């Protein structure tokens, strides 16, 4: 089990398989994930998963991919990823 943290600093346990899925999706979309702590937050009503690479990220711009990923940047640094329709993604 991997432990990641939500935006509210709540620990979330992910199976190795789920973690590998998240990472492989990120790599498929040519993202280089920062090698440090991450925070996850899931909005059940909106079915959106937020990954943050800082406790309180602020971004200067965002880019959306065709497959429902939104990449948030501050300058050239990736500070977060938003995954739309998160529960509909294949495991």
What is the per-residue pLDDT for 89? Answer: 78
Q: What is the pLDDT of residue 9?
A: 72
pTM confidence score: 0.60
List the chain pLDDT tens, one digit each, 91 residues. 667 676 667 777 777 777 777 766 665 555 565 556 788 889 999 999 999 888 888 899 999 988 889 999 999 888 999 999 998 875 5
Are 77 and 36 in contact by the 8 Å Cβ rule? The answer is no
Which of 90, 55, 49 lies closest to 70 in space, CA to CA?
49
Residue 53 near residue 82, CB atoms below 8 Å: no
Structure token digits, residue 38? 């991450």
Sorted by where each begins, the domain ranges of the chain are 2-88
**72 class by beta-carbon count within 10 Å (0-12 exposed, 13-18 middle, 19+ buried):** buried
pLDDT of 63 reads: 93
């Amino acid at each position: 089990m991997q432990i990641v943290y939500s935006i509210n600093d709540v620990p979330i346990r992910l199976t190795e398989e789920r973690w590998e899925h998240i990472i492989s999706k990120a790599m498929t979309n040519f993202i280089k994930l920062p090698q440090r702590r991450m925070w996850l937050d899931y909005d059940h009503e909106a079915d959106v998963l937020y990954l943050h690479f800082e406790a309180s990220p602020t971004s200067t711009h965002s880019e959306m991919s065709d497959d429902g990923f939104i990449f948030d940047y501050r300058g050239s640094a990736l500070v977060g990823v938003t995954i739309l329709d998160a529960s509909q993604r294949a495991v």
